[in-house]
Amino acid sequence: MIRTLNLERAGERSRHVRLSRPAAIAIAVVCLFVHVTGGAAIGRVESADIPGLSDSSLRVLSEQSFVAVSGEAPNPAQSYRILREQGVDPFITADVVLRTTRLFIDEVLLTLEEGQLYERLEELSREMVRLSGDQYLRATDSTVREAARLNVAFFSVGLSLLDPEFFPSETALGLVERELALIEEGTVVGFSPIMGATPLDGVAGPGEDYSHYISDGHYASSERLERFHRAVTWYSRMAFALPEGRIEDYRLTIQALLVVRALEEEAGDWLELWSLVYDPLLFFRGGAGDPTVLDYMEIADDVFGEKFGIEILSDQELVARFAERVGEIAPPHFETHELRGLRFLCPRDFHYRQGFRRLGSAAEDAPSVALSLMALLGSRAARSVLDEQDAFDQEIYRLGYRELELELEQITYGGWTSDLYWSWLHVISALFEPSGKQLPDFARTRAWETRMLSTAAAAWADIRRAPAGHLDPAFSLRDALPEVEDHCLVVEPYPELYIRLRDLLDNLGDKLWESYLLDDSISVRMGSYREFLVSLEESCVLPVGATTRLGAVRGGSPDQASDPSFLGGVEREEQRGAPVERAAFIASVYHDFGTGTIIEVAVGDPDLIYVSVGGGEDRQLFGGVISSFYEFKTVGRKPLTTEDWLKKLDSSLPPRPQWVMEFLQE
């Protein structure tokens, strides 16, 4: 007897809400998952009948009950269509679930950035222009007065980026116009007209690299998101740097103190608003561990006294003492290659940059950063490859690896879930902790462990990229799956993965609730996707040989259920004549300014995997989609953009890491 998963609660909540595309996908896919009690062979396909598989691939499939081959489609949806045309039942892989979850999180972030976060940041910028202007009018000391004027210009740039109708005051107009011109051009590397020379200009280049203001990912999809991206980039990259080395000017430190003092005025209303912008961005973006506004407030109260007046900032001895105190908690330059000091918003940074430096990753013969991180997260396959490469014969690497290993052992659950990046690493590590009783024989081989290593590495690359500009590969997953009831599917047997993804969504919901961002629409979408993950967890613990049969599509409101295009009006690429979306992307993970070394990780077009379940008359063949992983180390060039990467894939396919060939047949 077939039992359909209960989606009554999710359906009731969404009846009067227009579902987002990822939420509709979640409900549609959930409705496809139903349990069966038997293990009858349905839709059996002999391996010899699979078109496109070479004799060697068929032999590997026969010997180890699975084979992975290079794919020819540009995204997971079209890859599943190829499998459907081959007559192979679908295998729902961890790769597809991880990618779909990442895209869902991108969609939540996009909703927040277009809506409440944009409005909050615009209001905060407007008030900071006003408060800085008041400080400028009240200041009598020339140094403090100039610092206040520059702050008026600083916040006027942010407000101008968000509000095209805003016109800066004459006090700061010239500086603002010059800064906006550099941001608009997006090609210059040079001194900021407002921030001026900084302590790292002789190390990391002459000032700011304005190419960071060029929008990519979903920030390029609308003018509003592009404005938000530029404003956040401005506030997060421009540091009120501490004076160090040849820079003995405390002007930037005084500017930072004026910012802190302004936020404390008017009963701290603007400090609360700053927190409501900063905290959610910190969760999504990571942050570099720099001292924050709250750190500056605590130290300033201790050095200058509580509720200090701005005139006390003319006392250079006190300002120098303050800067020294902040320097004690700011990460060293040689670890971050970044300016030390206050940033109004958190930069997009992923903590493990310091870890890669400690592993000596800039060296020409240094081991792969992906292998190193996956081994630290628990991958036996990664550790085995590193051992085979004699990586631990290098003293710097061996000592650094041991230090990081000990640090990771001390991380609590709260640390693992502190932000999106660490939460994602916690999710990935579940791929290395499966229950042996739930794994079929083919998943207990070295080749399979190496395949999961590739899956984890690709998922790590996914969290390093900019938010996706198009989510169509996830949206069209529903179209890629068989729609008739006499087909089966198998879910990859990693229940802990789906549990941790569900916990990640719960934690995200808590963070949004704390920042007053969890409205009904987002709550419904997250609830629907959570049900999807629960269904995966329940389906993947079925005994080997049992399968999940696809049921009729139901979900959303009744009128949506009767409409085959109810997934938010999405049509297939070939029907709407739009360019085919590709799953490929590239992301920079480490940049050593001393040597000019850049390490990038990338995902190319999806590969296909075929698995054989059962034996004899009950033997069944399933096909799924897995990510293709790449890693590059170069010296003396700028990181590749995703557009550059796509051109590279089309012109001459780059080589995979050698360890990938342990499971991939090309």
- Please give the single-letter amino acid code of residue 223: E
The span from the CA of 343 to the CA of 340, in Å, is 9
pLDDT of residue 348: 77
Long-range contacts of 444-447 (CB under 8 A, 24+ apart): 445/64, 446/381, 446/384, 446/662, 447/64, 447/66, 447/662, 447/663
pLDDT in tens, 80-90: 888 888 888 88
pLDDT in tens, 130-143: 999 999 999 999 99
Residue partners of 173: CB distance under 8 A and separation at least 6: none
Using 50 as the pLDDT threshold, list the residues of the chain that sit under it.
Answer: 1-43, 471-486, 544-545, 549-578
Residue partners of 28: CB distance under 8 A and separation at least 6: 478, 553, 555, 567
Cβ-contact 601, 656 below 8 angstroms: no
The span from the CA of 422 to the CA of 569, in Å, is 35
Helix pair angle (223-237, 94-114), 10° resolution: 90
Beta strands in 312-364 (DSSP E): 341-343
Sort residue 267 into left (φ over 0), alpha (ψ -120 to 50) or beta: left
- Please give the single-letter amino acid code of residue 459: A
Burial class for 647, CB neighbours closer than 10 Å (0-12, 13-18, 19+): exposed
The span from the CA of 574 to the CA of 572, in Å, is 6
The span from the CA of 162 to the CA of 224, in Å, is 8
**Nearest CA-CA partner of 530 in 490, 510, 503, 491:** 503
pLDDT of residue 15: 28
pLDDT of residue 299: 95
**CA-based angle 136:167:219, to the nearest 5?**
110
Residue partners of 200: CB distance under 8 A and separation at least 6: 241, 333, 337, 338, 339
**CA separation, residue 382 to residues 21, 379, 665 (Å):** 36, 5, 19
The neighbouring-strand residues paired with 241 are: 341
What φ, ψ does residue 549 adopt, rounded to 5°?
-100, 140
pLDDT of residue 487: 53
pLDDT of residue 570: 30
pLDDT of residue 95: 94
The span from the CA of 154 to the CA of 147, in Å, is 10
